[in-house]
Amino acid sequence: MLKALLLENLHPQARSILETAGFDVTTRTGALDEAELIEALDGVHLLGIRSKTHVTAEVLAAAPSLVAIGAYCIGTNQIDLAEAAARGVAAFNAPFSNTRSVVEIAIADIISLTRRQTELDRAMHDGIWNKSATGAHEIRGRTLGIIGYGNIGTQLSVLAENLGMSVVFYDTAEKLALGNARRMSTLDELLETADIVTLHVDGRSGNAGLFGAKQFARMRPGAVFLNLSRGFVVDYAALRDAIVAGHVAGAAVDVFPVEPKRKGDPFESELRGLPNVILTPHTGGSTEEAQEAIGQFVSNKVRDYLATGSTTLSVNVPNLALEQQPGVHRLAYLHRNVPGVLAAVNATLAEHGVNIEGQLLATRGELGYVVTDAGARVDPAVVEALSTRPESVRLRLLS
């Protein structure tokens, strides 16, 4: 029986789908550190995580049974994707499922900061009645600057326009502007234009330290700042200085360079206690709706990969869309992308009298993936011959 380990309090749908597919599923509520994870992965074929558990090269080397990793979130920078691919471990994430949840919390933060709701709320809880319009503004007519115009940035752009905002955006890649949004040619141009600046960049290493003292100084006086993307892209000490100096009027932060691994662990940040600052514990995509959708999406993807070899939307191996064909025996062969592999596979099959019913090949960088459907049961000698070839990464016989 295939074994699955699901960490970090995934939605019950994640477990239900896998158990229905015949997996023996173990769940844990918190993240695991490297040593704990290595121990827990003994005999495990499928690992499900969110953002706190890091799957390093050392973890992968110590987990020879591991076949697939499901990242039940958008980001995958917590996984050594190259090493996983080199060991024949396919990784899948949920690039779209919590987009709406992140967009909605961004809108809520923008309105709350612009109306200074945090300060009014704190005063009321302290028993102080301070009815005043000073420093409170409508968002209608104000300019939203979106840094990172991907799935979240584009949907935020549309909703912000519907609320009467003007939208400008900056992205290093060429992107189609939606509605009346305007592309800025430089980051500085966006910062000098926007009343609200919000980050929605991905977790690539090149984005580390993207936003610091220089960028905060470029922002318009009295602008507000949001980071709902990655903690390591912002210098939070510089943000604190900008808020204390009054240059930045408020901020909403959902992600941090170092985050507690488990619920209830202590949290420290230089942003604690600052006026008009909203701090949330990496919950931008954590709605019940989003977590259910993510649980379904990722569990279906990893289930299908284990059952049929389909790698659609895998983030680290060649993509092939496959369905299970009745009456055939499938060989799924991950290999190094060198010339002559397909010819060698077919020659080996021919030598052992295996008739090919269908075959698909895809490549991705240094990795290739060929899936072959045979009309009769494949002899173990075929598996041995292919598995021991010098370019072989992982061969699975699926039926």
- Residues 6 or more apart from 264 whose CB is under 8 A from it? none
Catalytic, 288? Answer: no
Band (pLDDT 50/70/90 cuts) for residue 206 is confident
Pick from 334, 299, 342, 307: which is nearest to 323 by CA? Answer: 307
Catalytic, 200? Answer: no
Pick from 285, 316, 309, 303: which is nearest to 11 by CA? Answer: 285
Active-site choice (50, 100, 116, 282): 282
Contact 81, 71 (CB under 8 A): no
Active-site choice (192, 259, 292, 357): 259
pLDDT digits (tens, 9 = 90+) for 106-124: 999 999 999 999 999 999 9
pLDDT digits (tens, 9 = 90+) for 240-263: 999 999 999 999 999 999 998 888
pLDDT digits (tens, 9 = 90+) for 10-61: 999 999 999 999 999 999 988 999 999 999 999 999 999 998 899 999 999 9
- 33 DSSP 8-state letter: -
HSE (side-chain half, CA atoms, 13 Å) at 302: 35
Phi-psi label, residue 80: left if phi above 0, alpha if psi -120 to 50, beta otherwise: beta
Task: Determine the Cα–Cα distance for residues 257 and 147; give it in Å rounded to an integer.
Answer: 19
**Residue 204's pLDDT is what?**
83
Q: Which residues pair with 371 in a beta bridge?
A: 332, 360
Active-site choice (142, 230, 303, 330): 230
Pick from 369, 378, 376: which is nearest to 342 by CA? Answer: 369
Band (pLDDT 50/70/90 cuts) for residue 264 is confident
Catalytic, 352? Answer: no
- % helix / strand / coil in the chain, to the nearest 5? 35, 20, 45
Walk me through the domains of the chain, giving residue ranges and CATH numbers: 1-98+290-309 (3.40.50.720), 99-279 (3.40.50.720), 318-399 (3.30.70.260)
**What is the pTM assigned to this prediction?**
0.84
Pick from 189, 284, 174, 307: which is nearest to 227 by CA? Answer: 284
**Residue 117's pLDDT is what?**
96
pLDDT at residue 173 is higher than 80: yes
Give the three-state DSSP class for 109.
helix
